[in-house]
């Protein structure tokens, strides 16, 4: 059966119109996503967080396949972080690498999750569960992205948080020592020396343990602990105090390094 020329022309015209329509629609999608995203950025820069959040949410939900979707998700999370809604921020940052695992923002999103926990790390006297979660999250980030330029910042955050945890244990040890619970004090001094030996209070813990052992009349153990103090912390600012303890314990200068 021969197809009439009219139908051939009509079919070709319809196909051309359909292609043009699809192209136009795609251009509108890209334009709409881009304009909305940049409007959100302007609002975020002006600290209009609620309206910025709305714009980013539109991009994520209405243009999920656009090139702006992962960035919109990241900055949506940022609006929560900047307004100190850290739990929600952590969840939204998680959506970046969950929904866009190949995004260039995935590493920074993992880093920001750790920052959310770190931001909730309380003063030393309070429970430090969020500090521990932050350390774990920063370490996870480092493990996933060891070549990221953010690794040095993550490592510094871990150092700061570990110092806080060590200081927490030091305060507990000193409290027990003041109350006369010397055995319990030694337990917490040992926690610092075993788990936070690289912290900025490790030398205090080592010398505190010596003092408590002396109070418990365990001079032999105190000498051993003081000898270890000298070998582990040769440049400690607490050395003059250690030297006085060495003198009282009659610790040989050659063994302890503290005598004159």
For position 251, what pLDDT does the model report? 82
What are 117's two structure tokens?
């926990």
- Nearest one of 193, 194, 176 to 185, comparing CA atoms: 176
193 vs 196: CA distance, rounded Å: 6
182 vs 218: CA distance, rounded Å: 11
Task: Going residue by residue through the chain, which has 260 residues, state the pLDDT in tens, using 9 for 90 and above.
Answer: 455 554 444 444 444 444 444 444 444 445 589 999 999 999 999 999 999 999 999 999 999 999 999 999 999 999 999 999 999 999 999 999 999 999 999 999 999 999 999 999 988 777 789 999 999 999 999 999 999 999 999 999 999 999 999 999 999 999 999 999 999 999 999 999 999 999 999 999 999 999 999 999 999 999 999 999 999 999 999 999 999 999 999 886 555 544 43
The span from the first CA to the last CA of the chain, in angstroms, equals: 116
Sort 113 into a burial class: Cβ within 10 Å, 0-12 / 13-18 / 19+.
buried
CB 30 within 8 A of CB 24: no
Other CB atoms closer than 10 Å to residue 189's CB: what's the count? Answer: 29
Dihedral sign of CA atoms 187, 188, 190, 194 in order? positive
DSSP state of 199: S
151 vs 137: CA distance, rounded Å: 12
Dihedral sign of CA atoms 106, 107, 108, 109 in order? positive
């Amino acid at each position: 059966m021969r197809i009439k020329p009219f139908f051939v022309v009509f079919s070709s015209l319809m196909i051309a119109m359909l292609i043009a329509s699809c192209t136009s629609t795609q251009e509108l999608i890209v334009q709409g996503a881009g304009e909305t995203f940049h409007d959100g950025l302007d609002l975020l820069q002006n600290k209009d967080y609620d309206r910025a959040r709305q714009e980013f949410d539109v991009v994520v939900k209405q243009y999920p396949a656009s090139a702006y979707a992962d960035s919109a998700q990241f900055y949506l999370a940022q609006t929560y972080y900047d307004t100190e809604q850290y739990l929600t921020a952590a969840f939204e940052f998680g959506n970046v690498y969950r929904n866009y695992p190949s995004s260039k923002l995935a590493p920074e999103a993992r880093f920001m999750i750790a920052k959310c926990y770190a931001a909730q790390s309380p003063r030393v006297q309070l429970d430090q569960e969020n500090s521990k979660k932050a350390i774990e999250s920063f370490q996870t980030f480092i493990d996933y992205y060891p070549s990221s330029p953010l690794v040095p910042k993550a490592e510094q955050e871990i150092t700061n948080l570990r110092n806080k945890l060590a200081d927490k244990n030091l305060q507990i040890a000193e409290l027990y020592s003041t109350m006369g619970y010397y055995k319990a004090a030694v337990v917490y001094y040992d926690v610092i020396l075993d788990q936070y030996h690289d912290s900025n209070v490790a030398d205090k813990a080592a010398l505190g343990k010596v003092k408590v052992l002396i109070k418990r009349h365990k001079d032999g153990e105190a000498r051993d602990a003081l000898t270890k103090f000298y070998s582990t912390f040769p440049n400690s600012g607490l050395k003059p105090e250690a030297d006085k303890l060495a003198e009282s314990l009659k610790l040989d200068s050659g063994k302890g390094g503290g005598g004159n």
